Structure 1
């Protein structure tokens, strides 16, 4: 079975389900930031056969303190135990989809890489592409298995992160560059629908994640993505890029797009703007 590490087409997923269903695990990551029950309702209405539902507000998030952002990462070992309980072993091919052009699927893709799992890919075009192809859907709910003991030895993470302290220390030094995935009007501080403060981290550049896909909801070709990211980043090394958004979710869409483009090695600031702006001492920039 081929290994998919960034994207998989609906056609390829259908073939995997037919040829080696025991070798894959599908996760439904549908979510709505304005209606936290929408993903579960959508899953119960219909999902890709065998898919398990993971909730971004519970399964994929740790408790919020008011200072750690809207989607703080769970404990790494606890998350690994949850994933392993669902039958994911070192060689399992994991496929993830959502119905929102990919940010929630990309976030879970990044989280699997965070716990050292390499064979994980996002369904290109998501739920809509699967349905448009006329492929099978089931409504029978697949319950999550309860996580057992935390694994003693986790594989090394395949991705890098930075925290708020590192971001703040970097502002005068600019040893790495923050790439903000939010819409331009949020980056500029003209509007802020989700967080109490508008603006962006000083020195950050802007690349809205909505620009990563074509009109059909599929990711643009790798060569197109590479040219577009390089037009924003200039000569900067991909390893010197740190992705940020509102709460660490859509930033992963940019991170995935860069991986597709062959611009590998960039990192994530998981707390993102919602964590950054929770401390009034941290500086805020506005405008372009």
Structure 2
């Protein structure tokens, strides 16, 4: 599985672009940037309006329900036959978040333009405004094994599965916590900071990140999490690309876990 691609590796025909540029500190920025200019024909998916269901309580960025995801796909005019290319501003987690949800929704022709919009706009024609497509009636075959909920995590821990925290080391250890009410990590979790995937060419591909994963046991199922299921998405994608098949994203992540469960610290 190769999802994260360089410019020359992107598909050339039947391509639908999805713009996911976003700023967690300024949630209106991405859509404003899209309206100003984007790859011609690209639709825009907002982290909180489209790639999350903020009415749910499972953490800070709960994933959409299957029904809501189906409506998004159909309203976006997408089908399983489309070659999907997702981009954000580069070295960001938002395209990966969309990719995880699309894989969950049964799409197989999914690529992340790892160099981001800055590189794409040098090559592809641009336009402003909002791209529109007629809706489709695509039904979705969900890959339920890709996303995990809180009970899945508990079962995973009980079965001695591998749990990976994608946040910074200081947040993992409980030294600092700038967002959530309680500092620390889910018991038994190891730490791989997702920012180690950043490079001067954009997020590392799975094969390039193998050094980060070398110590992980091949035989164990791996479950990833972060604060709210966003920054763990690039780590999830890289693990899948590296050849590990039993990988799941805890969608609610730490902000969901701390609502009712104990944590650990390692200060």
TM-score by length of 1: 0.84
Report how far residue 58 of structure 1 moved. Answer: 0.8
**Structure 1, unaligned runs of 5 or more:** none
Matched, 1:118 2:99: no
CA contact (8 A) 2:206 2:240 kept: no
Q: Distance in 1 between matches of 2:219 and 2:236?
A: 14
Matched, 1:29 2:59: no
What does 1:6-85 correspond to in 2, within 5 Å?
A: 6-13=3-10, 16=12, 20=13, 23-65=14-56, 67-85=57-75
Aligned length: 267
Matched, 1:93 2:83: yes
Q: Distance in 2 between matches of 1:285 and 1:236?
A: 25
Matched, 1:139 2:127: yes
**Structure 2, unaligned runs of 5 or more:** none
What does 1:160-171 correspond to in 2, within 5 Å?
A: 160-171=146-157
Q: Distance in 2 between matches of 1:97 and 1:199?
A: 32
CA contact (8 A) 2:174 2:265 kept: yes
TM-score by length of 2: 0.90
Indicate the SS of the match to 2:223. strand
Determine the structure 2 residue equivalent to 1:229. Answer: 213
Report how far residue 12 of structure 1 moved. Answer: 3.8
Pairwise CA RMSD: 2.3
Determine the structure 1 residue equivalent to 2:143. Answer: 157
Q: Distance in 2 between matches of 1:45 and 1:200?
A: 40
Indicate the SS of the match to 2:55. coil
CA distance change for structure 1 residues 147 and 68 in 2, over 3 Å: closer, same or farther?
farther
Query: Out of 243, 246, 271, which is 2:227 matched to?
Result: 246
CA contact (8 A) 1:178 1:243 kept: yes
| Structure with a larger share of its residues in helix | 1
Determine the structure 1 residue equivalent to 2:164. Answer: 179
Report how far residue 119 of structure 1 moved. Answer: 0.6
Report Cα offsets for 1:47-78 as digits up to 9, x if no partner.
Answer: 1121111111111211335x411111111132
Determine the structure 2 residue equivalent to 1:277. Answer: 258
Report how far residue 214 of structure 1 moved. Answer: 2.4
